[in-house]
Structure 1
């Protein structure tokens, strides 16, 4: 059990969780919720590396036969911590990378993650597994790409003028996919909820 706990796939997951406070620190380097261009690039690289571990940990766990209960539990938690914390930071920092109507896209993503987590927890108590669909994986990938563009934000705009706009557009597409996949999960889980009530 101890060897599975400290397996390479699980260490990658732990690393993804540790990336969250490091990225938050980039936003507070000046002692307030403000982020310089240099700090943006550092935050972006930390995020990119953390995002890559999201694809690597599950893949390595499967091919090396190192799947574990702690890995299955922490993997989705790490994903949600990474996405939620950065969306909140981007909406609150002084440059307001996510502002106006775009905040609704971020709220949609955050609400869906909370609702699906609750549904999964309820269904787990009923010993019902809801597998991750291919479109849900695309949704996660799109969220990560959108956040990468938004982390670059104004610093990226100086190199490519439409970096922030691309990030906002991708965030909205991710939000729409989030609604669709959330509905998909609830439709799959509703049968078990109704059956349990009868």
Structure 2
């Protein structure tokens, strides 16, 4: 295996995946949220650059082709585990996250079973859009968790009405607003919409791969 820049970027993306939860082990919130967000976005950007540079410089390799989807899946799966924990087990997040995790395990199992025939499950353009949607959604959700934590600090355990009264009385700082809504809820809602879109794309690509593999799953007639 030659250590080209595209391969190095892929390895760095793989190493960044476990780095996301590590941010919450060594830093206080909301700094942990911001560092996790920055690390995730930086790793997601390399997902585009490594493939682009490999094609541009004609440095495509079997090692990169093998490791690239593994790095993508590791990033998405680990980040979703962190988000579901810090979202208070929000069912609107758990359901699409479960769909995404199930699909990734299912398709990985298909590829392992097919062995040499797994090339028929090569990455499609829709699958690339799926990965992009997942990463954009996860980045938005990390933004939402960081802003939500800041809101919680500002409210200091008060109810929404108590907090509104305290702000009116000049006893508390107003939560940062994005238009007519606070930025945390806006980012969270946008992130949930995006993760549902990503889940739908995930189902579509999973079904496409399953359909292509059906001829290889049928028992031969005696």
- The bucket for the TM-score relative to the shorter chain is 0.7 to 0.9
Q: Which runs of 5+ in 2 are unaligned?
A: 149-175
Runs of 4+ in 1 over 4 A off after TM superposition: 157-160
Report the Cα offset of residue 159 of structure 1.
6.0
Alpha carbons 2:20, 2:39 under 8 Å: kept:
yes
Q: Which has the larger radius of gyration?
A: 2
Report the Cα offset of residue 17 of structure 1.
1.2
Q: Which residue of 2 aligns with 1:16?
A: 13
Report the Cα offset of residue 106 of structure 1.
0.2
CA RMSD of aligned residues (A): 1.9
Question: Quick one: structure 1 residues 10 and 120, their matched pair in 2 at CA, closer, same or farther if it must change by over 3 Å?
Answer: same
Question: Quick one: structure 1 residues 59 and 197, their matched pair in 2 at CA, closer, same or farther if it must change by over 3 Å?
Answer: farther
**What do the CA deviations read for 1:2-38 (whole angstroms, capped 9, x no partner)?**
xx2x1100100111011123211112226xxxx6112
Whether 1:107 aligns to 2:123 is no
Q: Which runs of 5+ in 1 are unaligned?
A: none
Alpha carbons 2:138, 2:195 under 8 Å: kept:
yes
User: Matched residues in 1 for 2:212 and 2:66: separation?
Assistant: 21
Whether 1:74 aligns to 2:97 is no
Q: Which residue of 2 aligns with 1:63?
A: 56
**What do the CA deviations read for 1:28-69 (whole angstroms, capped 9, x no partner)?**
226xxxx61122111111111100111111111112111112
Alpha carbons 1:10, 1:71 under 8 Å: kept:
yes
User: What is the aligned residue count?
Assistant: 188
TM-score, normalised relative to structure 1: 0.87
Whether 1:197 aligns to 2:194 is no
Question: Quick one: structure 1 residues 13 and 122, their matched pair in 2 at CA, closer, same or farther if it must change by over 3 Å?
Answer: same
Q: Counterparts in 2 of 1:1-198, with a 5 A limit? A: 1=1, 4=2, 6-29=3-26, 36-93=29-86, 95-96=87-88, 99-126=90-117, 128-156=119-147, 158=176, 160=178, 161=183, 162-194=186-218, 197-198=220-221
- Is 114-123 or 47-56 further displaced after alignment? 114-123
**What do the CA deviations read for 1:131-175 (whole angstroms, capped 9, x no partner)?**
222111111100000000011123345564200111011111111
TM-score, normalised relative to structure 2: 0.78
User: Matched residues in 2 for 1:127 and 1:166: separation?
Assistant: 36
Alpha carbons 2:20, 2:36 under 8 Å: kept:
yes
